[in-house]
Structure 1
Amino acid sequence: MRKKDYLEMLPTAILMVGAFLLPLALIIIYAFEFKGRLNFFSPLNLHVVKFTFYQATLSALFASVIGFPAAYLIGKTNFKFKGTFSALSSIPFVMPSVSMALGFFTFYGANGFLNEYFLWPLFHVRFEPLFSLFGIIMGNAFYNFPLVMIIVGGALASVNPIYLEAARIDGASKLKGFFYVELPIIFPAMVSAFLLAFIYCFTSFAVVLILGGARYATIEVQIYMYLRTLLDFKNAAALTVVQLSFVFSLAFVFSLLKRGFGVFSQEISSSKSKFPLWGYFYVIFMGIFVFGPIFSQAFAGFWNFQKSSFTLEWMKNLFSGQMDPYIGNSIFYAIFWTLIFAVSSSLMVMILSSISSRVIQKKKMHLLDALFTSPLAISPVTLAFGYIILEGYVYITFPVEMVAIYTVISFPIGFQIFSSAWERFPSFVDDAASIDGAGFWTKLFKIYLPILKPQMFSSFLFSFAIAMGEMGATMVLYDPRFPTISVSAYRLFSSRHIPEAQALGTLLTISTFIIFYIIEKPFLTEK
């Protein structure tokens, strides 16, 4: 690798070593300092570990069950609004976790939209899954089913039709063709989708904290409890080591499976297969039970559930200063600092991922590729724990910590976006510009920026949305002088100011919708 390449990679290397690897290494070192005195499986820790495995397995299975039909529809069938369906089905995964959890409360709560305006008036029954294991499973599954849809749908779309044609020539029915031809081909994708969903469910934080609470604490929530409530760093370290060991093992298996096919493929099949009858029932089911919480949260801040009427009362309370004591600061400060953190981290992700992905693609540096993607497997709560330990060695302020953490957790998304772009980049254009004597800055403004403008826009907005909704690390390191929207919404919810929490969640949800629409506009425009 040339000296120039080293210099281009240096800023990203500093970020990954200083803001990612170092905090994780400090956790391991801190754990070893106890010299065998860590009780990894005390009665409480053992219960938490067992429950985490149990709920993550059920949640990932449920996500697979509801995600596979969507994968089949976008991968194998043809219908007019396939692009819109595919794009809208991805909304849950890009939603801030606090908005998704509040949306469940708004829709499935005792006085929520589903019970108050549909089930009870029509059937005189109520469906109240909140604050239960089933509520956590539903929340995690609905939040992560787009992973199954994208991964398995991409695998189905890429199956060579010649295999099915050969099977049908040999007399195989459509059903047999699927089970004996397509299923074995896409099975690695199905396993990978399950593993990835399992990892996200295993490290779920906001959904479990809001829909389950301490009674249904997972490893992630219990680590937060140890750090912020009990100040028990010893047990926090023990659970963190258990979580890191298991998640890294799963991530390694996932990376092996990923090499066999395009896990991140979002290809939409051009198949002309007829849209099945069951597909209509599935779309209706998704529209009610999955999109219901999302879209109801977008209106909850303007709705009085007791009077069943439109209101601006909750927004007025939110911005009048009445809620400031419960937030710990002004709501205007929460919006201001959220924007500062989100914009700063998004700019860093956009710049660093575009440069590093170019060098890695050009030099085929697969080891660094894996390293730069690895933050996907690390929970923000774990990373924040590392920063608490780091504070004992280096003076670091809360705003710097937040920008660094938001950048690290968003970086893999930007890196994947630009990696795909550089793979398709017309190298002859670069070569021709070099032959004509164009320098780096000339190529940057005349070639790279115009061609990669969509990727730069997407990476910035994806990172911005992630930072806007991040809650785990922010709550672990929280400093009331620098409030954020997501933590403020949770503090309002936990202090039983639910209408105002829903109002703040509404603002966050609408902001996410706008970002999502900008990113996915090409898919939402049907041809």
Structure 2
Amino acid sequence: MSRSTRRAGRAVGTGRAWGIAAWTAAAAIPLAFLAVFFLLPVVSLIATGFTTEGRFDASGIPAVLGEPRTWSVVGQTLAQAALGTLLSLVLGVPAAFVLYRLRFRGRAALRGLMTVPFVLPTVVVGVAFESVFGEGGPLAALGLDRTLLVVVLALAFFNVTVVARTVGGFWSQLDPRPEQAARMLGAGPVRVWWTVTLPQIAPALASAASLVFLFCATSFGIVLILGGRSLSNVETEIYRLTVQFLDLRSAAVLSLLQFALVAAVLVVSARLRRRREQTVSLRPTAERIRRAHAPVIAVLAATVLLLHLLPMIALLVGSLRGRTAGADGAAEWTLQNYTNLFVPPADSPIDGSVADALATSLGIAALAATIALLLGGLVALVASRRPRSRVLARGIEWFDGAIMLPLGVSAVTLGFGLLLTMNRPLGIGLDLRTSTVLIPIAQALVALPIVVRTLLPVLRGIDPRQRDAAAMLGAGPLRVLGTIDLPLLGRSAGLAAGFALAASLGEFGATSFLVRPDTQTLPVVIAQLIGRQGSDSYGTALAGAVVLGAITAGIMLLAERWRGEAAAEW
């Protein structure tokens, strides 16, 4: 064997070794982050609930499971999630057809606008629906305030977008010729839908339904603001047990129940997602608008106008009304509520101004989004690999599933767990509870699954033959990564950053446990002010919600412009 051949062999071996080390580090960093800041706090909090005098005690489980209140809350959670999912599907499928199967001017802009509701802070949406159905709202006479219907409508407000994006992105790729053939054979629109279209999009529908059910079942801010104790779900019940009664045992049992439910939903969603990826037929198509499309266009228009715009308009109008009545007995138009954002009213229950809280929120959200984007990029790169080894392939599946775990645990459990465990964690001589970094970490954990689900489809869409060709031409693993994967990852980074920033900016559940007087975030401040109806603080809360909603909407519209052809999974 010649010296040059041996040298080339050593170079290849060294390159492989560096490649293995790099991929191992890429997987280890997010897993370590998850272990320290997610698993440790959650497991510690649940263990505390099952510990009596320093010993494990599971005797409380039968007691909690035997309480009627427990199963009432579980039943309400399932009912809200099922009804929210059903309404989201009914409204989201027509939206998916119009936005992804029809061709018209302004379609891209309308898609961007339809994304905004999903990322609006739950506090903003809760306040908006309260402005519609609550005291003094345009629909207050219907008597629907604090009812299941309003909660379900608010859940659908968020999740119609999930259905439209998940189903629409899949639907737009299907071959239209089977539908055309069915029409030529005399099948009407309904027959074509039931016999051809529905079976084709069924995997995407089921995947969307599982995701929406997950989001509805773990909703916190919406149910807390619009439902009250009578409509508590598992998430708000954990909050009530933890904050009001310090009943960690009952909270721990409910956390385990919720985790089991969400784990089952995530398993179903993962299987349906793989089936959807395998059955897609890459034949992008769009048709012009015809008169026959009028019904689905009408459904989309009603969804946008009544479900999305009406609450936002009511919120804006309420923020421009003062407490003082005019000559006609109605409240006067004023900008005082917006002035109060900078100079707090006399009855304000918070220290500092709402503007200060907004500045704090923006800084914290920017740091959280950066953390989520860096970790999410590593996760997406690792999870997009397609190794030939069955063991490695199964390991990547488990790795991808592990990153989704924050979706399956109550944000309340996460926040309280961080508060309990971050006092010199793992022997580190630093109390993170007094630092400013703990809130961004909690928000990054919430945003991380969204970032991964945004970036991963782009990388999985790369033809493996491109990587094989680059390797055959002598490119090492890192060179292949830099020339093929990273450029495509960068195209979707703008959209992922927008999702991460918006999710962090509106995070409420975990943050509510971690804020201090000098780190109050805007969603937490709005929640404190909104409970003082009839006061200047209530008007200030409405104005703050308008500002927070406008900033979030602006972030997402910019992200949609930057994303190009990148396609998020939802």
TM-score, normalised on structure 1?
A: 0.86
| CA distance in 2 between partners of 1:69 and 1:501 (Å) | 35
Q: Which amino acid aligns with 1:518?
A: L
State the partner residue of 2:549: 509
Counterparts of 1:123-138 in structure 2, within 5 Å, are 126-138=141-153
Shifted more, 432-441 versus 125-134: the winner is 432-441
Shifted more, 207-216 versus 281-290: the winner is 281-290
Cα shift at 1:289: 1.3
Cα shift at 1:229: 1.2
State the partner residue of 2:175: 160
Residue of structure 2 aligned with 1:287, choices 277, 280, 304: 304
State the partner residue of 2:440: 403
Shifted more, 27-36 versus 242-251: the winner is 27-36
For residues 104 and 288 of structure 1, do their structure 2 counterparts lie closer, same or farther at Cα, with a shift above 3 Å needed? same
State the partner residue of 2:116: 91
Segments of structure 2 that go 5 or more residues without pairing to the other structure are 1-18, 51-55, 388-395, 426-430, 566-570
Residue of structure 2 aligned with 1:21, choices 35, 39, 44: 39
Q: Does 1:245 align with 2:260?
A: yes
Residue of structure 1 aligned with 2:287, choices 252, 260, 271: 271
- Whether contact under 8 Å (2:360, 2:519) holds in the other structure is yes
Q: Which amino acid aligns with 2:288?
A: K
For residues 153 and 344 of structure 1, do their structure 2 counterparts lie closer, same or farther at Cα, with a shift above 3 Å needed? same
Which secondary structure state, in structure 1, belongs to the residue aligned with residue 219 of structure 2?
coil
| CA distance in 2 between partners of 1:409 and 1:97 (Å) | 14
State the partner residue of 1:40: 64
- Whether contact under 8 Å (2:364, 2:439) holds in the other structure is yes
| CA distance in 1 between partners of 2:84 and 2:477 (Å) | 52
Shifted more, 254-263 versus 44-53: the winner is 254-263
Q: Which amino acid aligns with 1:102?
A: V
State the partner residue of 1:386: 417
- Whether contact under 8 Å (1:489, 1:505) holds in the other structure is yes
- Whether contact under 8 Å (2:49, 2:250) holds in the other structure is no
Counterparts of 1:298-447 in structure 2, within 5 Å, are 298=316, 300-304=318-322, 307=330, 310-322=333-345, 325-362=348-385, 364=387, 365-391=396-422, 394=425, 395-397=431-433, 399-423=436-460
State the partner residue of 1:227: 242
- Whether contact under 8 Å (2:116, 2:557) holds in the other structure is no
For residues 353 and 217 of structure 1, do their structure 2 counterparts lie closer, same or farther at Cα, with a shift above 3 Å needed? same
- Whether contact under 8 Å (1:52, 1:219) holds in the other structure is yes
Q: Which amino acid aligns with 1:17?
A: A
Same amino acid, percent of matched pairs: 25
Cα shift at 1:385: 3.7
| CA distance in 2 between partners of 1:46 and 1:221 (Å) | 14
For residues 453 and 191 of structure 1, do their structure 2 counterparts lie closer, same or farther at Cα, with a shift above 3 Å needed? closer
Q: May I ask how many residue pairs the two structures share in their alignment?
A: 513
Shifted more, 81-90 versus 93-102: the winner is 81-90
Q: Which amino acid aligns with 2:357?
A: A
- Whether contact under 8 Å (1:9, 1:355) holds in the other structure is yes
Q: Which amino acid aligns with 1:249?
A: A
Q: Does 1:189 align with 2:229?
A: no
For residues 232 and 149 of structure 1, do their structure 2 counterparts lie closer, same or farther at Cα, with a shift above 3 Å needed? same
Segments of structure 1 that go 5 or more residues without pairing to the other structure are 116-124
- Whether contact under 8 Å (2:120, 2:506) holds in the other structure is yes
Residue of structure 2 aligned with 1:259, choices 241, 261, 274: 274
Residue of structure 2 aligned with 1:201, choices 203, 211, 216: 216
State the partner residue of 1:119: none
| CA distance in 2 between partners of 1:443 and 1:250 (Å) | 33
Which secondary structure state, in structure 2, belongs to the residue aligned with residue 259 of structure 1?
helix
Cα shift at 1:412: 1.7
Structure with bigger gyration radius = 2
| CA distance in 1 between partners of 2:105 and 2:562 (Å) | 15
Which secondary structure state, in structure 2, belongs to the residue aligned with residue 101 of structure 1?
helix
Q: Deviations over 1:97-153 (max 9, x none)?
A: 1111111122333423x44xxxxxxxxx93442222211111112221211222222
- Whether contact under 8 Å (2:174, 2:284) holds in the other structure is no
Q: Which amino acid aligns with 2:368?
A: S
For residues 366 and 138 of structure 1, do their structure 2 counterparts lie closer, same or farther at Cα, with a shift above 3 Å needed? same
Computed over aligned residues only, the root mean square deviation of the Cα atoms, in angstroms, reads: 3.4
